[in-house]
Amino acid sequence: MTDTGGDQVEEAVASCTALLRAAAGHDWDGTRAGRLEWNCRRTAEHIAGDLIAYAGQLAGRATTAYVPFEITMDEGTDDAGVVDVIETTGALLAATLRTTPREVRAFHPYPFRSANREGFAAMGVAEVLLHTHDIAEGLGLPYEPPAGLCAWVLTRIFPHVRPEPDAPWSTLLWATGRGDLPGRDPLTEWRWNNNLVIGTERLTLQGVTPAAAADLHAGGTGGFAWIEGGPFEGTRFAAGMVVSSYEEGAHRAEWGMFVLVRREDGLAVGGIGFHGVPDAEGHAEVGYDLAESARGRGYATEALRALAETALARDDVKLLIAAVEQENAPSQRVVARAGFTRASEDVEKAARELHGLEASLRLYSREA
């Protein structure tokens, strides 16, 4: 899993410009673009504007706001000229994606205030596909982009949306309020989700998308450069849990899995995350592991402390739980240093009776 998103942007732009070039003789100015308030001409210009804006964010390494510029068409530019601009701005975004290092993040407001190159690529592809659909709908033209491209977008910036088997385009349209799916209520509000990143002194905890989780679970790298011996088996198992929750529609990015990446060299050293969203009482379970070559340096403690503090700062979280093997003294020291305390024997007994806690495990908790 090593793609930068450049190929996907080019594929999306090609599907867009093929339709728009064939439609250049239609009344773009006088035709509303599908369900949008814009006409088709304004929507086409917006596609070009998004592509160059995303390229600008990454190239300029913007961290606090959008780079303050926008694109305008020369006076007298016809519809075919607008298509040329879409093609050009798409090429610029693709080139930027291919030359931006993996660890670079730039500002985007939704929902965690930043995105990496893959996130900007997915947002760019989504803008192209969806607004091409809007124009096609307005002009009464058929349009359906490649299914693989739609699935690529969904597994990167729509982790909260349950995929519809064999219907990624219909799922993407439904997820953005543009279509219906059997058994699902129509959406009137929607927003995509880039991955969450939590920083510590030596690490960044990088949220794992369903796409990355699937690759990790299948034996790949998830798009990360790993330290020798990584990822550890626990990380691959946790990635499988992410895939399952995504397929069920139960995955939420902030309650998923994170890969621990060292700031000094960009190498991934382990994984950490939750076993699911908090329950009705505000309780959530955490787990973690490290590649063997990264152990004994305090990385797990540093990561667990940061993850716990982030979670417990929320109003809907009251208690975090960690289950540790009785014989695993190093892991017991990790949770203790991260502010967790041993649960009472009565609590452990109840956990065994009610939740099937294995006898070899000991419970630790940290309260808000």
- pLDDT, tens digit (0-9, with 9 covering 90-100), for 124-141: 999 999 999 999 999 999
DSSP 140: T
Q: Could you read off the pLDDT of 172-227 as tens digits, one per residue?
A: 999 999 999 999 999 999 999 999 999 999 999 999 999 999 999 999 999 999 99
3-state DSSP call for residue 271? strand
Q: What is the tens place of the pLDDT at every residue in 331-362?
A: 999 999 999 999 888 878 877 777 787 888 89
Q: What is the pLDDT of residue 37?
A: 96
Domain covering 6-175, topology: Four Helix Bundle (Hemerythrin (Met), subunit A) (1.20.120)
Phi, then psi, of 244 in degrees rounded to 5: -65, -45
Q: Could you give the residue range(s) of every CATH 1.20.120.450 domain in the chain? A: 6-175
Q: Are strands 283-290 and 268-274 parallel, antiparallel or unpaired?
A: antiparallel
Tracing tokens 């289950």 back to the chain, one arrives at 323
Residues 33-71: tens digit of each pLDDT: 999 999 999 999 999 999 999 999 999 999 999 999 999
* Fold for the domain defined by 197-367: Aminopeptidase (3.40.630)
- Mean of pLDDT over the chain: 95
Spatial distance between the Cα atoms of 123 and 7, rounded to a whole number of angstroms:
14
Q: Is beta strand 283-290 parallel, antiparallel or unpaired with respect to 319-325?
A: parallel
Return residue ranges of the chain for CATH 3.40.630.30.
197-367
pLDDT of residue 352: 78
Whether 180 contacts 186, CB under 8 Å: yes
Instruction: Give me the DSSP letters along 305-322.
Output: HHHHHHHHTSTT--EEEE
